[in-house]
Amino acid sequence: MFKKILIANRGEIACRVIKTARRMGIATVAVYSDADRDALHVEMADEAVHIGPAQAAQSYLVPEKIIAACKQTGAEAVHPGYGFLSERASFCAALEKEGIVFIGPKPKAIEAMGDKIESKKFANAAKVSTVPGYLGVIDDADHAVKIANDIGYPVMLKASAGGGGKGMRIAWNDAECREGFQSSKNEAKSSFGDDRVFVEKFVVDPRHIEIQVLGDGHGNVIYLGERECSIQRRNQKVVEEAPSPFLDEATRKAMGEQSVALAKAVDYQSAGTVEFIVDKDKNFYFLEMNTRLQVEHPVTELVTGIDLVEQMIRVAAGEKLSIRQSDVQMHGWAVESRLYAEDPYRNFLPSIGRLTRYRPPAEGKTGDVIVRNDTGVVEGAEISMYYDPMIAKLCTWAPDRIEAIDAMSEALDQFVVDGIEHNIPFLAALMQHPRWREGRLSTGFIAEEFPDGFAPLTPDPDDKRVLAAVALAAELLRRDRLDRLGGRLAPHSGEIKPDWEIRVGDDYVKAKIFDGMASVPMELDLSLGGGRPVTVISSWRPGEPVWNGTIGGRKVSAQVRTVPNGYRLAWKGMSVTARAMLPRTAELERLMPVKLPPDTSNLLLCPMPGMLVSLAVAEGQEVKAGETLAVVEAMKMENVLRAERDLTVSKINAKPGDSLAVDAVIMEFA
């Protein structure tokens, strides 16, 4: 077994590998760029080596710097994580040449299956069913359009070396094909250092289901069941689960055996994933093989009990697999939610900044539920524009699917992140979505169910009563604490006024308190909205970010943030401002004028922090609705900004190469 390994990655996956290595008694070496000098993986590792500037192309993507770090520290092996150099055969070969072990498959397997074009050619030769497409390298946009017309729209343009949704575009016509080809090429070059792009038919309403395989250097290969990854946005996975709610045992076995045959054909040694698209009739088509550890590997670990990182290390050290196919059993259900630094209310555009508050839910087993959080950040960490926007992967396990989903819903309610925008509200809303809960999924789920973007869930009358109770309980404690501060002229007598009104959003909920004290722990008997009396019980104290308690026996975990004269409450995908007031105050508040937001319809604002890549217009130019105005790059993704209506450009305030803040004015219109 190795004594020391280097992790050629960053963020949560580097931390994940370090945890297993530490448990196995293996020393670890981290590498870091300028942007990651104070990152969690650097702190966790036994040693750390600086490898260059913030840009990945000058640090994490430079094989020579990784090899030099190995020699400097005496690391015997390298775990590449995912992304960066994890599927570059030349890197694996360069390590072998230096006598350093690559914790992953051999170069032959990476070359055969890691490249999307070559893997499809190989799969065709092996008589594996694949999606129709053009497997050669595309010369230019005109060539891409010709191929797309031969195949028939819609088509998918994909970076050959791609992954994680980078370098992927769906095109429904020639114009989208031309634009998508260039964007895919640009993203592929900046993310993977390889700008080759290919085209394949886009299968409408598919499910994305993948099989986890594990092979050793002695000819043994097994599969560890499947993961359903159909909840995607812009071709990037958002929620995954294991097993799939769609597959039957016969289909699972057929997909697993085909995956094993494919892996054996390339002498696959390590953990790998064979991805399929599955249609409504359970016909499955080989999509690609990821010759690395997947982002969503924790759900497989939770349902099988097998540590995939440990198996990768043992295989790389020359050991035989100690697990046979008959040993693999799937127990219960696991769900993974990817927490991204993005604004769900602005069409999921990237967000960067400092995590002023970062409080994940407690990990471990409680009753029948397991909570796991794989992360690479801590409170105070900086979310950079240079890397992937993922903050953490929150996983829950329970005996069945609905229990696992409900556990995820509760864990998301308790996950506090401040300082940046993030997608927790969207994930929390998703857990309540009937179609998700029923398992009626496709890769188009988010586009179909949220065609106009995401907006917070609207509370129904019952939800409003729950939120009103939380706001009232918080307000009573705030007033009690304020009255007991030194120097107050007239502290109250201790008796609580019985009648209250709580504004929840734009509606008012009347409350009447029958019994209780403003103290911790709190127990109040009250009626809400004229309904039957309920008891509110909580040990929450002012300043705590999550209100935990019961309302009428119902368990509630709601996030509480103070705003002027009230609270911002987040619960199960709902986000409302609530203010608890005495009736006379509520009567006066109803008379207050509403402040309208400023009119920005004649401005093009930068929707996220990023770099202005290009301008497609000039001052004085007339443009039509839908035409491209500018392209902004953030977190390795290009975002095209288009005209919402016919207009004339009157002034341009930025130039290509400028770093822009959110809402910076790029141009003005006449």
The domain boundary residue, chosen from 558, 589, 620: 589
What is the rounded distance in angstroms from the CA atom of residue 417 to the CA atom of residue 353?
A: 12
pLDDT at 491: 64
- The winner for highest mean pLDDT among 115-129, 152-166, 462-476, 637-651 is 462-476
The domain boundary residue, chosen from 589, 623, 648: 589
* 176 shares a domain with 89: no
Identified catalytic residue from 111, 228, 288, 336: 288
Domain contains 270: no
Average pLDDT over residues 468-484: 91
* 620 shares a domain with 565: no
Token output for 568: 């911002």
* 644 shares a domain with 565: no
* 490 shares a domain with 546: yes
pLDDT tens, residue by residue, 343-357: 998 888 888 889 999
Domain contains 273: no
Average pLDDT over residues 91-98: 96
What is the rounded distance in angstroms from the CA atom of residue 91 to the CA atom of residue 291?
A: 13
The domain boundary residue, chosen from 64, 82, 103: 103
Least trusted range by pLDDT, from 68-72, 272-276, 591-595: 591-595
* 184 shares a domain with 88: no
Flag whether pLDDT at 335 surpasses 70.
yes
The number of domains in the chain is 4
> 78 near 102, Cβ under 8 Å?
yes
* 661 shares a domain with 629: yes
Residues of the domain holding 42: 4-103
* 140 shares a domain with 172: yes
With H, G, I as helix, E, B as strand and everything else as coil, classify residue 76. coil
Q: What is the CATH number of the domain that holds 76?
A: 3.40.50.20
Average pLDDT over residues 615-625: 94
* 494 shares a domain with 520: yes
* 632 shares a domain with 561: no
Domain contains 408: no
Q: What is the CATH number of the domain that holds 637?
A: 2.40.50.100
Domain contains 73: yes
* 564 shares a domain with 482: yes
Domain contains 298: no
Q: How far is CA 603 from CA 343, 453, 480, 634, in A?
A: 20, 21, 47, 20
Average pLDDT over residues 164-168: 79
pTM of structure: 0.84
* 562 shares a domain with 653: no
pLDDT tens, residue by residue, 196-226: 898 988 877 899 999 999 999 999 999 999 9
Domain contains 386: no
Please indicate whether residue 288 is annotated as part of the active site: yes
Domain contains 86: yes
Average pLDDT over residues 377-392: 91
pLDDT at 490: 67
For the chain, percent of residues with pLDDT exceeding 70 = 99
Evaluate the CA torsion angle 440, 258, 232, 361 in order and state its sign: positive
Domain contains 63: yes
Average pLDDT over residues 413-417: 97
Token output for 304: 């099988």
* 629 shares a domain with 553: no
Q: What is the DSSP string of 559-620?
A: EEEEETTEEEEEETTEEEEEEEE-HHHHHHHTTSPPPPPPP-TTEEE-SSSEEEEEE---TT
pLDDT tens, residue by residue, 549-583: 999 999 999 999 999 999 999 999 999 999 999 99
Flag whether pLDDT at 164 surpasses 70.
no
Contacts of 667 (CB under 8 A, 6+ apart): 603, 604, 615, 617, 629, 630, 649, 650, 651, 652, 653, 654
Q: What is the CATH number of the domain that holds 565?
A: 3.30.700.30
